[in-house]
């Protein structure tokens, strides 16, 4: 079976981000046909169209990493009922200059965790709106708004609760199927 290279973005720049921990636990549950590689964005300056005529190397490298991925998974917290500013800045870099949107036709998925009871539901809806505008086909179901609680991860960095692990494993199986379907209709490099 084909292996899909999934670039992933961690929405939080915090070193001890619970979303980074969730991502690492997720990858242990993933089907073998998904290979994950982080696309960091912490070194990107604040985007302004003043850069469009001469994109800095950090911006070019970020765009190339998005474009080299078969799919994108964004694992993000919710800040003030939206997405973190650093993540929005990275998305702006990848979508500019006008006419060079790196997200176009690349399948995407969104997941996140927060200590709050609704997880990252509102922030994910904002992110879905942005990805829709950028013409990134999105896996809309199942949705995964994970409440991060003490004991969610065990000492090995795995999901401790069997039901949650099963749900997240199913989420990744669905993501794999979604990627395969999208890339059948919108093959990369076509």
Percent of the chain with pLDDT over 70: 99
135 in the Ramachandran plot: left (φ > 0), alpha (ψ -120 to 50) or beta? left
Torsion of CA 11, 155, 152, 150, to 10 degrees: -100
What is d(CA 92, CA 132) in angstroms, rounded to the nearest whole number? 14
pLDDT band at 122 (very low <50, low <70, confident <90, very high): very high
pTM: 0.96
Q: What is the pLDDT of residue 187?
A: 81
Q: Are 106 and 66 in contact (CB under 8 A)?
A: yes
Torsion of CA 81, 89, 3, 148, to 10 degrees: -30
What is d(CA 4, CA 6) in angstroms, rounded to the nearest whole number? 6
Judged by average pLDDT, the poorest of 44-58, 63-77, 125-139, 176-190 is 176-190
What is d(CA 9, CA 103) in angstroms, rounded to the nearest whole number? 13
Q: What is the pLDDT of residue 64?
A: 98
The CA-atom distances, in angstroms, between 7 and each of 34, 36, 63, 67 are: 10, 6, 11, 9
Sequence-ordered list of residues with C-beta below 8 angstroms from that of 80, at least 6 positions apart, any chain: none
Q: What is the pLDDT of residue 161?
A: 93
pLDDT band at 144 (very low <50, low <70, confident <90, very high): very high
Supply the mean pLDDT for the chain. Answer: 96
Q: What is the pLDDT of residue 190?
A: 56
Neighbours of 43 (CB within 10 A): 11
Q: What is the pLDDT of residues 69-114, one digit of tens each?
A: 999 999 999 999 999 999 999 999 999 999 999 999 999 999 999 9
The answer to whether residue 170 scores a pLDDT higher than 80 is: yes
């Amino acid at each position: 079976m084909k292996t899909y290279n999934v670039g992933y973005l961690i929405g939080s720049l915090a070193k001890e981000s619970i979303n980074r921990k969730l991502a690492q636990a997720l990858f242990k549950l993933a089907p073998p046909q998904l290979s994950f590689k982080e696309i960091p964005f912490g070194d990107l300056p604040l985007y302004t169209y003043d850069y469009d005529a001469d994109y800095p190397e950090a911006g070019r490298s970020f765009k190339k990493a998005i474009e080299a991925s078969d799919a994108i998974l964004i694992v993000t917290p919710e800040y003030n009922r939206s997405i973190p500013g650093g993540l929005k800045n990275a998305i702006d870099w990848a979508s500019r200059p006008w006419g060079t949107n790196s997200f176009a036709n690349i399948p995407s998925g969104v997941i996140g965790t927060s200590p709050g009871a609704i997880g990252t539901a509102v922030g994910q809806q904002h992110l879905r709106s942005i990805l829709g505008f950028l013409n990134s086909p999105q896996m809309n179901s199942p949705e995964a708004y994970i409440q991060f609680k003490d004991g969610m991860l065990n000492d090995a960095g795995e999901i401790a609760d069997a039901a949650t692990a099963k749900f997240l494993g199913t989420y990744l199986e669905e993501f794999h199927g979604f990627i395969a379907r999208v890339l059948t209709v919108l093959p990369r490099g076509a």
